[in-house]
Amino acid sequence: MFNKIDDLLRQLNECRPLTQGEVERLRDEFLIEFTYNSNAIEGNTLTLQETALIINEGITIAEKPLKDHLEVMGHKDAYFYVEKLVKDKVPLSEKIIKDIHSIVLLDKPQDKGIYRRVPVRIMGAAYEPPQPYLVPIQMEQLIAEYDEMKKNRHPIERVALFHLKFEGIHPFIDGNGRTGRLLMNLGLMKEGYPVINVKFADRRRYYDCFTSHHQSGGNPEAMTQMIAEYVKETLERYLEILKMRIPKLPI
């Protein structure tokens, strides 16, 4: 799978680049779908169309909670921040993670960028997050491990394992899922891969990846496979778009 993905990435990098307008159009379409799906996984009730109206037009959807609107705006702004981090080549750190979380948690200013101070349980999960006093220690270790993984893991596996461990630590009182999926895309983009969108329709498989990881003693294979499939799908889509622009492009 990795060989196929890296070959597709090579093909994409060798293609004539998209125009700025085309890049922005594709980015805007992705942002709407990514924001909708990531928020929906966490219980947001806005539809894809409603999410698009809020992002593009700033329209308030009648009879939908203010919280849901703020989650859309927070996620959008956090994604733009992630893009800037990639452009500026800012290394991952606890501060960056807290900054992303602060933007995501627009609806709960009292909890923004603050590690949780109470124990939590994840309903239906096969594991229990660490006690709050262990969170800062484990987050520091996770950042160090992530850097160390560069030596012996493929970038996609590295991103998958980081995501699994981050969500296992569950460092914040709320917003861990949205923050974690933004961090996942930060990791992929910094390695030259396209952004991916974990779909709401795939949430059961997504949750099962965490169960598999914890029940297998830390094996990230299930999450790695899921992320790899999303990356491959996205690369093939971009190449197909370029094929339509450049008829002689070999696919």
| Pair 4, 232: CB distance under 8 Å | yes
Question: How confident is the model at residue 204, as a pLDDT?
Answer: 96
The CATH superfamily holding the domain 2-245 is Fido-like domain (1.10.3290.10)
Question: How confident is the model at residue 245, as a pLDDT?
Answer: 67
Angle, helices 176-190 vs 155-169, to 10°: value is 160
Q: Tell me the pTM.
A: 0.94
The more confident residue out of 240 and 33 is: 33
DSSP assignments along 36-52, one per residue: HHHHHHTT----HHHHH
Residue type, 222: A
Question: How confident is the model at residue 126, as a pLDDT?
Answer: 73
Please check the confidence at residue 246 and state whether its pLDDT lies above 60.
Answer: no
- pLDDT tens for 108-162 read 999 999 999 999 988 777 789 999 999 999 999 999 999 999 889 999 999 999 9
Q: What is the 3-state secondary structure (H, E, C) of 75-117?
A: HHHHHHHHHHHHHHCCCCCHHHHHHHHHHHCCCCHHHCCCECC
- pLDDT tens for 48-86 read 999 999 999 999 999 999 999 999 999 999 999 999 999
